[in-house]
């Protein structure tokens, strides 16, 4: 194994406190780094962050029932450009509800929808959320397609802020933020097909959004 790879993995493991498992053979094509996207105005901080922030955004710990909307599962793996899994990373998501409204003081509030979730990647770098299909939002002058915001943190430091889009999402082709990514391959890395997943839950769909970070903390 080339010394560069050994030292890079050792450095990353030491700096990030993560267990890194090589998954890409030496000489194989390097994956595309997941491009960053604007954070937008609705990332919840301070009191805007719900006390219930687990991986199930449909159920709130302090009220019965579940959020209204179509159930989706969003899952994936966080890795480095070397293909090594990043365990122990925090993955945050935040999104609009089925009516295109954020659970944020600067937007409307939906008391039935968690709107934000945070999980830690496992030893293989994997994460998973249960949430609902968000609607697009905006006006005739500035309209966003359905999307989910992501932020990845290592040891509390953000290493990537981006947005995930749906392959069948209305308006992807007209969205200035998505199409502000120059590379077609990088844009494609943000667009995820969702398919029925009855084995996970009846009437649910699931999609895989793998995240490749280029600059670990």
Q: Does 83 bind Fe ion (CB under 5 A)?
A: no
* Shortest distance in whole angstroms from residue 216 CB to Fe ion: 25
* Binding residues for Fe ion, total number by CB under 5 A: 1
**In terms of CB distance, is 16 or 101 closer to Fe ion?**
101
Q: Does 100 bind Fe ion (CB under 5 A)?
A: no
* Shortest distance in whole angstroms from residue 144 CB to Fe ion: 6
* Shortest distance in whole angstroms from residue 54 CB to Fe ion: 21
Q: Does 136 bind Fe ion (CB under 5 A)?
A: no
Q: How many angstroms separate the CA atoms of 187 and 177, rounded? A: 10
* Shortest distance in whole angstroms from residue 172 CB to Fe ion: 14
Q: Does 22 bind Fe ion (CB under 5 A)?
A: no
Which pairs with CB-CB distance under 8 Å and at least 24 residues apart come from 198-202?
Answer: 200/73, 201/71, 201/73, 201/130
DSSP assignment string, 189-205: TTEE--EE-TTTSTT-E
User: Tokens 């937007």 identify what position?
Assistant: 107
Q: Does 40 bind Fe ion (CB under 5 A)?
A: yes
Q: How many angstroms separate the CA atoms of 89 and 154, rounded? A: 5
What residue spans of 104-146 are helical by DSSP H? none
Residues that bind Fe ion (CB under 5 A): 40
């Amino acid at each position: 194994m080339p010394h560069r790879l050994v030292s890079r993995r050792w450095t990353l493991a030491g700096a990030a406190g993560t267990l890194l498992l090589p998954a890409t053979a030496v000489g194989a094509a390097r994956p595309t780094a997941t491009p960053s996207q604007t954070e937008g105005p609705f990332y919840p901080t301070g009191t805007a962050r719900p006390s219930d922030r687990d991986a199930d955004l449909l159920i709130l710990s302090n009220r019965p029932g579940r959020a209204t909307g179509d159930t989706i599962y969003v899952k994936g793996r966080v890795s480095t450009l070397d293909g090594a899994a990043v365990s122990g990373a925090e993955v945050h998501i935040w999104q609009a509800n089925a009516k295109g409204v954020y659970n944020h003081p600067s937007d409307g509030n939906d008391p039935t929808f968690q709107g934000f979730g945070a999980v830690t990647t496992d030893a293989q770098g994997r994460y998973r959320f249960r949430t609902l299909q968000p609607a697009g939002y905006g006006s005739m002058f500035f309209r966003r397609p359905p999307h989910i915001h992501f932020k990845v943190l290592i040891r509390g430091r953000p290493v990537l802020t981006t947005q995930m889009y749906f392959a069948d999402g209305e308006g992807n082709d007209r969205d200035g933020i998505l199409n502000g990514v120059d590379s077609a391959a990088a844009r494609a890395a943000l667009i995820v097909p969702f398919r029925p997943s009855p084995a996970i839950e009846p009437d649910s769909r699931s999609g895989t959004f793998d995240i490749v970070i280029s600059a670990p903390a």
